[in-house]
Structure 1
Amino acid sequence: MFELSNSILKIKVKPIGAELCEISSVKNNTQFMWDANPDIWGSFAPNLFPIIGALKDETYFYKGTKYNMPKHGFVRHSKDIKLVKETKNSLSFSLTYNEDLLKIYPFKFEFKITYTLIDNILDINYTVKNLDNKSIYFSVGGHPAFKCPLYNDENYTDYNLVFETEETSKTHLLNTQTGLVKNETKPVFTTKNSIQLNPNLFSEDALIFKDLKSRKVALVSTKHGEILNMTFKDFNYLGLWAKPNAPYVCIEPWLGIADQENTSQNIVEKEGIIKLPENETFSTNYSVQIHEHHLG
């Protein structure tokens, strides 16, 4: 386990997948992340690369060749990702292509993730470097799960996700059997800029937004105020998810999305896919800010 702290926050990162598994207060030890109870959902905050969500039949094609890829890609379960740099306020991990990965993802790349603590803010930066002699195609995103409710005197329904601006966006529905995106939408906002959490909110799987105006969302308790907020300025998609009746909520900034039901399965044509020319590097980040009222 890797640890990083300043005078305000402490984080822990698992070696497998370089997965963030704790954000806590140094002063009062309050834990803000879900505990990954394996009986409910045994993950904390998977890193999603080089796809997000499900592929149709777990399959895609590149230049006529068929490849198989598990949901959310291969980084989340990787034992090959390594710590490559550690500073006073950051941890950087890297995964580079290998012969086994080339069998399921025919692109030469370096994937890096850096966790940086700045006061009460955790910044998560993803960098993808093209090491190939052709363009590479990928999606990237986060999947952090936050404890909810945070305090013993609260219920799940005491929480709202409050967006920075008024929204008209609707969720794009998923086929609950295949995980593919259907050509249907549904309104889910409780007010013009908020969604109240309830145990059945995710009964049809994740909420997926493609056209949010906001690039910041806060997790707010009606009893204890704002718990934390996430800024995701570069991300065109946002997912919200939890297992039904589970005490957490995932706020997921995405650059990419699961396959549509009518997908061609050609990765070059995949919705939300990023094309990175040879010798170029792509970088993006999102951040989580813990409200000072809960830090002791």
Structure 2
Amino acid sequence: MISLENNFLKVTINSKGAELSSLFNKLNGLEHLWQADPSVWGFHAPNLFPVVGSCIDNQILIDGQKYPVKRHGFARHSEFELVDSTSTKAKFILNYSESTLAVFPFKFAFEVTYELRDSELSVLYHVINLDDHTMYFSIGAHPAFNIPFYEHEDYTDYYLEFAATEVLEKHLLNSDGFFTGNTEKLVTESNRINLRPDLFKSDALVFKKLVSREVLIKNHKTPNFISISFPDFTSLGIWAPPGADFVCIEPWLGYADTEGELKDFSLKEGILSLESSKSFKAEFIIGVN
């Protein structure tokens, strides 16, 4: 574990998965990150690579060969190396290995850098293609925030507010976590989604096209809020197990498979491509008020 701290925040990061495991607000004494109760959901804020969501038969197909890849990829289960750190910044890296090549046949380096900037935490993803041919991948974040903030409050006191006017059309998932190809418009109130225990009874809310690049977690009764800005991400997943005391705000570049036959990985919806020796960066920022 490594800790970063300034006058506003103290955060803790686990080398396994380079996963953020604590986001502590020093000004009001609140822990804002879900503490990974394994009986509900045993993660805090996993980093998703090289896939987002579920793959048909837990496999990807590359150049006619199938490779086993579990839901959300292997990075969240992998041990990262800490390569640079100060009191407010830390960089972790996952390099390709024989074990990664067995499930993802590309040579890569995946860096995750955390940096405190006053009351904000920047999370920067950096993917480097070390192979001699084009690499295909997806990437995403999955932070879970405690709701409510205070014990005397209720989950239903909170809502999500989008930064821009949206036509919120969610893409429906089947019971196995694959897209059905169908969509459904979500009834909203002034760019808001009110949180309620049954909001995710049919799995995550997935929005593949958004105008907004920021979502606020706000309270109807108090001015406290958390902001999640994702300038480099095009899609968003929002999820919690029904009745859980948290909500996940998940910036994505990539998706689960759509039900049907397994397609070549290069044709997967939302897939990113990266030429040999090139690199890719994407940042999201968590702000605390």
TM-score, structure 2 as length reference: 0.98
Aligned residue for 1:47? 47
Deviations 1:88-144 (A, max 9, x none): 321100000001110100000000000000000000000000000001010111000
Letter in 2 for 1:61: L
The Cα of 1:287 is off from its aligned counterpart by 0.2
Q: Is the 8 Å Cα contact of residues 239 and 253 (structure 1) preserved in structure 2?
A: yes
2:67 counterpart of 1:67: yes
Q: Is the 8 Å Cα contact of residues 240 and 252 (structure 1) preserved in structure 2?
A: yes
Aligned residue for 2:110? 111
Q: Is the 8 Å Cα contact of residues 12 and 21 (structure 1) preserved in structure 2?
A: yes
In 2, Cα distance between the equivalents of 1:92 and 1:78?
15
Aligned residue for 2:278? 280
2:159 counterpart of 1:160: yes
Deviations 1:51-98 (A, max 9, x none): 00000111111110111100000010112x111110232110000000
In 1, Cα distance between the equivalents of 2:121 and 2:263?
36
2:206 to 208, 220, 227: 208
Aligned residue for 2:148? 149
The Cα of 1:281 is off from its aligned counterpart by 0.6
220-229 or 145-154, larger mean C-alpha shift: 220-229
In 2, Cα distance between the equivalents of 1:195 and 1:28?
26
Q: Is the 8 Å Cα contact of residues 161 and 220 (structure 1) preserved in structure 2?
A: yes
In 2, Cα distance between the equivalents of 1:290 and 1:27?
10
Deviations 1:181-232 (A, max 9, x none): 1111122242141100111100011110011111111000112224111111
2:8 counterpart of 1:8: yes
In 2, Cα distance between the equivalents of 1:236 and 1:263?
25
Matches within 5 A, 1:119-138: 119-138=118-137
In 1, Cα distance between the equivalents of 2:216 and 2:171?
21
Aligned residue for 1:32? 32
In 1, Cα distance between the equivalents of 2:201 and 2:133?
42
TM-score, structure 1 as length reference: 0.95
In 1, Cα distance between the equivalents of 2:212 and 2:274?
26
1:186 to 162, 184, 187: 184
Letter in 2 for 1:207: L
Q: CA RMSD in A?
A: 1.0
Matches within 5 A, 1:197-276: 197-262=195-260, 264-276=262-274
Please give the secondary structure, in 1, of the residue aligned with 2:104. Answer: coil
The Cα of 1:263 is off from its aligned counterpart by 5.0
Q: Is the 8 Å Cα contact of residues 6 and 116 (structure 2) preserved in structure 1?
A: yes
Q: Which blocks of at least 5 consecutive residues in structure 2 are unaligned? A: none
Q: Is the 8 Å Cα contact of residues 171 and 187 (structure 1) preserved in structure 2?
A: yes
In 1, Cα distance between the equivalents of 2:275 and 2:17?
26
Q: Is the 8 Å Cα contact of residues 167 and 192 (structure 1) preserved in structure 2?
A: no
Letter in 2 for 1:120: S
**Count of aligned pairs between the two proteins:** 289
Q: Which blocks of at least 5 consecutive residues in structure 1 are unaligned? A: 292-296
Deviations 1:224-244 (A, max 9, x none): 224111111111110000000
Q: Is the 8 Å Cα contact of residues 238 and 253 (structure 1) preserved in structure 2?
A: yes
State, as a whole percentage, how many aligned pairs show the same letter.
42
Please give the secondary structure, in 2, of the residue aligned with 1:167. Answer: coil
Q: Is the 8 Å Cα contact of residues 135 and 276 (structure 2) preserved in structure 1?
A: yes
Please give the secondary structure, in 1, of the residue aligned with 2:31. Answer: coil
Please give the secondary structure, in 2, of the residue aligned with 1:73. Answer: coil
Letter in 1 for 2:140: G
21-30 or 245-254, larger mean C-alpha shift: 21-30
Aligned residue for 2:57? 57
In 2, Cα distance between the equivalents of 1:263 and 1:236?
25
52-61 or 182-191, larger mean C-alpha shift: 182-191
In 2, Cα distance between the equivalents of 1:20 and 1:189?
32
